[in-house]
Amino acid sequence: MMRVWIGVGIFLGVFIIAFAIFALRTTEGPAPAPDTASSEAAITNVKVTDAYVSKTGLHAIRGTATVPDACTPLSATTSISAASSTVIRVDLSAESGTGVCLELPTEVSFSVTSSAPKDDSVEVYANGALSATAP
């Protein structure tokens, strides 16, 4: 019978110590609020192809880029470069997604069109930095 009381005493001692540690931990103060502000996400491994359609005079620019996770949306816009009228500039931007998402680099595709002469080249900028070119 004495062994049972020793076992109960050990169990209660461990229980009281664990409870004290838990109680002290919860009194450390509130957890910091999650950062909800969007920021630019890293865009890497940009690949681009340009197909000129002579009937319509459009460049169909397609490509892929790697973003940090599947929840990060990628957007692409085109413009004719002010410095050189023979360059089609494609700007890629990605904003960090909100919520919970598996942080696994994901390849996403993009597609844009631009009206320009056939011989114009394509430069792709990811978050403002030159990432790829296509003849």
- Taking only the tens of pLDDT, the chain with its 135 residues reads 888 899 999 999 999 988 887 776 655 566 655 555 556 778 888 999 877 777 777 888 999 999 988 888 899 999 886 666 788 889 999 887 777 888 899 999 999 988 888 888 888 999 888 988 887
Measured between its terminal Cα atoms, the distance across the chain in Å is 89
**Does the predicted TM-score (pTM) go above 0.75?**
no
- Angle (CA) 104 110 115, round 5°: 160
Q: Distances from the Cα of 57 to the Cαs of 60, 116, 119, 123, in angstroms? A: 10, 7, 11, 18
In this prediction, residue 85 carries a pLDDT of 73
